Amino acid sequence: MPPADATSKTRFLVLHDYGMGGAWWWVHARSEQEVLETFADVEVVHTETTRAEAEAWDLDEADVDGPTTPPGLAEARAERDAQRGLPGFGALAGRDLLYLSRRWDEDENDDDPIVHLMEVGPDGRRLRQVELTVDGAAFRSTSEDWSFNPPCVERYDPAWVPFVIDREEFEARWARAVHDPNRWD
């Protein structure tokens, strides 16, 4: 007889999207939320066409309660386990839109840091972005401007909590920013 919780599990198609590719698995869990709370930097794929195609991919399968996890997914579990006890864990989960402001330097010695203000959808992907340069310029862009748009914000990761801003601040910067379609070529 199977364990009582085994009958209540569903098979989810799970992706770690790293921009130019991704790692895929089938994960058995009680809910999508359980998948996201158990593994860092993954998303659950719902598109029926993709799910149907994935049936032929010979993907590794894992159970959220299982003693072993396939490579890649094991690291995602370890990362999530490390985050779980930190203040702010899961604080951003369940929100439709997030607005964030974060300074990104191309490298540690970058004299021209850029502050990115981002509007992020429920899947962790950017919807709109404003780049504030050190000289005071502000450039806006949308997903149509970017060649790749993998998830960049992991909503259970407490590291993102300090970067949250309110929608009004984002919208004010968006309204003053200019669009330069050649900037993202």
Task: Report the 10 Å Cβ neighbour count for 8.
Answer: 10
Please compute the mean of the pLDDT values over residues 119-131 and round it to a whole number.
Answer: 94
Pick the residue with more confidence: 118 or 114? 118
Domains of the chain, by residue range, sit at 4-84, 98-179
The pLDDT of residue 56 is 95
For residue 83, give every residue at least 6 positions away whose Cβ sits within 8 Å of its Cβ, in sequence order, or none: 40, 89, 156, 157, 158, 159
Query: Is the sign of the CA dihedral 127, 132, 138, 139 positive or negative?
Result: negative
- Which H/E stretch holds residue 174? helix 167-176
- Which H/E stretch holds residue 111? none
- As a whole number, the mean pLDDT across the chain is 89
Cα 80 from Cα 15, distance rounded (Å): 15
The pLDDT of residue 2 is 43
pTM of the model: 0.83
Q: pLDDT tens digits, residue range 28-45? A: 999 999 999 999 999 999
